[in-house]
Homo-oligomer: A and B are copies of this chain.
Amino acid sequence: MTTQTATIKQRAKKSPPPKPYHHGDLHQEILCAACELIEENNIASLSLREIAKKVGVSHTAPYRHFKDKESLLAGIAGVGFKELAKQLADAVELHHDNPAAQLQEAAHGYVQRAMTSPHCTQLMFSGILPCDDTYPELVASGDAAFDGLKMIIEEGQAKGVFKEGDIEILALATWSGIHGLALILIGGNLPEILSISVDIRQLTNAVTTTMLEGLKAS
């Protein structure tokens, strides 16, 4: 209470009347709360009312900031896609001039991120959200991430370490392998024998090794 009063006084002194009246940035707070709740439970049981309660506003307040539940979900997925793009950029940066190492690193980051935010990852790729131009920034983020992958492939071809061929298709084949492993892991579909005896890094390496063998220039 005291803190709040202080903040208000400070505002009155310093700046012209600020926009929000209860919260600093309800939009962002809702998004954060939703990200947390979706990982604590799962996509299906995430409710707008629960999010509102967690943030401390009425259950209709989110409608000021999101058209409906779906566009809130799109917001969450958007955060995920940006994380993905960043991870990829980091992998490229880290292993300069070594496409194979970049791919390995990117794959590991992809799987790692999926395991840290499994339900967000599910949301991003499950087809719950429409993939037409309802959420153009979502498609854009996805395409940006894919572009990163294509650039790795392209550089590998230029260096003569990856085989020639349609970049789109080679990139898709590579992504498929990594994506498949990630979704198998977070879906809990890993065959039992593997889940008890092998660690994630080993599995990721196995998949990327197979992909890299398939990509190798002959």
Q: Which residues of A contact B (CB under 8 A)?
A: 42-44, 118, 122, 125-128, 130-131, 139, 142-143, 146, 168-170, 172-181, 183-184, 186-194, 198, 202-203, 206-207, 209-216
Residue of B nearest to A125 (CB): B187
Cross-chain contact A172 with B203 (CB below 8 angstroms) = yes
Q: Which residues of B contact A44 (CB under 8 A)?
A: 44, 128
Within the complex, what minimum Cβ distance (angstroms) separates A208 from chain B? Answer: 9
A126-B187, A169-B194 are contacts. A210–B206 as well, Cβ < 8 Å? no
13 extra interface residue pairs, beta carbon distance < 8 Å, beyond A169-B203, A170-B206, A176-B178: A126-B126, A127-B187, A169-B198, A172-B181, A172-B194, A172-B206, A173-B207, A176-B181, A177-B177, A179-B184, A211-B214, A212-B214, A214-B214
Q: For the complex, what is the distance from the CA of A176 to the CA of B175, rounded to whole Å?
A: 10
Within the complex, what minimum Cβ distance (angstroms) separates A73 from chain B? Answer: 10
